[in-house]
Amino acid sequence: MNNPFEYLNLESFLTFASNAEATQDAFNIQQLLVQHPNRAQMVQWSRQACLNDPDFMEMYHNKYLPPFPSHEELLAMPGNTLGGAYGRHLKKYNISLLFDGLDTTMFYKQDVNELNFMAARNTRNHDIYHVLMGVGTAPLDEYALFCVQLAQFGSPYQMVLLAAGILHTVFREPEKIPEFLDTNHRFYQIGKTARPLISFPYEEHWMTDLNEVRSMMKLPILSRED
């Protein structure tokens, strides 16, 4: 019998289980998973989610990845807007819009398929998701976002990252196991009822009130203090 973990980058998996901010290791996990011989079966739900979303398919055909504003432009926007909240999130957590140290060429290739384009938009907009959900960058926050995406796309990649989160919580923060389970269940349910994250044109709504964007996305409306 073939080794079921042959296409799992165990080194990156264990590194990510130790550190949920190890973004390059998350990329490494994804790159090996796409070589799996049963990939077509593994991603059938994700691909169908793409095909069933006309807004996403229009973005895909137009290769919709317009430039982002600069950090300075975002910070100049009112704090109640999507752009302003996003800029302050990036500043608070010292996150670079340039994806320093990561290979982002996949964002701009013209020959990508639907799943690659979905991955590009998810990676590019990941921190916008943090802002919309009202979460920070702690491990539990990252795992909550994986659950939203898992609910929407049925992605094996998100499932593997969540498995790393289970190991992290068990061995690093066992006191947070009840919170891990409750939070992930809640965010999974949010993902099931929300508009697909990948197909909203955030780039056209930098100056839109953040809670108005949440309303359009069918996401919970948070208070200004959240």
- Predicted TM-score (pTM) of the model is 0.88
Q: How many CA atoms lie within 13 A of 122 on its CB side?
A: 23
Tell the residue number behind the tokens 């799943």, with chain if given: 115
Average pLDDT over residues 190-214: 97
Helix, strand or coil, per DSSP, at residue 209: strand
* Structure tokens belonging to residue 133: 């959900």
Grade residue 210 by pLDDT with cuts at 50, 70 and 90: very high
Most confident stretch, 25-29, 116-120, 177-181: 177-181
- 115-173 pLDDT per residue, tens: 888 888 888 899 999 999 999 999 999 999 999 999 998 888 889 999 999 999 999 99
Grade residue 82 by pLDDT with cuts at 50, 70 and 90: very high
CA 97/CA 58 separation, integer angstroms: 25
Would the pLDDT of 189 be above 90? yes
CA 176/CA 39 separation, integer angstroms: 33
**Which secondary-structure segment (H or E) carries 115?**
helix 114-124
User: What are the residues facing 81 on neighbouring strands?
Assistant: 209
Would the pLDDT of 194 be above 70? yes
How would you class 88 by CB atoms within 10 Å of its CB: exposed for 0-12, middle for 13-18, buried for 19 or more? middle
